[in-house]
Structure 1
């Protein structure tokens, strides 16, 4: 059975903006283990579904798609945003 994970991408530490952090992502879980390629040594598998990432405007839209397509899913809640309010003068204390 196909399983998927639905989550909202957080802003990484190297970004100052919040572009694409409001979208929800549905990505499929890998159904087979990765193994090293004997020629190159890179890890890979024959499962191509893990390369598919579907983007949705809301969690409800992603859940509706998964239910309509018969995909078992788990919803990972969005991480809580922590604001660190700081003045420029705080750098010199």
Structure 2
């Protein structure tokens, strides 16, 4: 079973980075999800799918995986460049692009 170590990105609706400061170790699913015929809910018999461990750094997560003999892969976070704009920039006369309401 392979563990995935990654740093989550911030949500699209939030500008803060509070939840993206830690690293997460979670297991790859070993069985596909199945659909319950009565209720239509999706479920799985794979209990490791529910495990999600948080670590303060990438090194801590890798050390945990090595200590417990887990195969792992690390996904490095992609740096996002932020374009800082003021709300008034939407109404500039030198604005590129069409004006839409």
Q: Provide the TM-score with structure 1 as the length reference.
A: 0.92
Matched, 1:71 2:70: yes
1:54 maps to 53
In 2, Cα distance between equivalents of 1:17 and 1:80: 14
* Gaps in structure 2 of 5+ consecutive residues: 93-101
Per the TM alignment, residue 87 of structure 1 is displaced from its structure 2 partner at its CA by 2.6
In 1, Cα distance between equivalents of 2:20 and 2:13: 14
Greater C-alpha Rg: 2
4+ aligned runs moved over 4 Å, structure 1: none
SS in 2 for 1:16: coil
CA RMSD of aligned residues (A): 1.0
2:13 maps to 14
Between Structure 1 and Structure 2, how many residues are aligned?
A: 92
1:81 maps to 80
Larger relative contact order, structure 1 or 2 (CA cutoff 8 Å, min sep 6) = 1
* Gaps in structure 1 of 5+ consecutive residues: none
Per the TM alignment, residue 16 of structure 1 is displaced from its structure 2 partner at its CA by 2.5
Matched, 1:4 2:3: yes
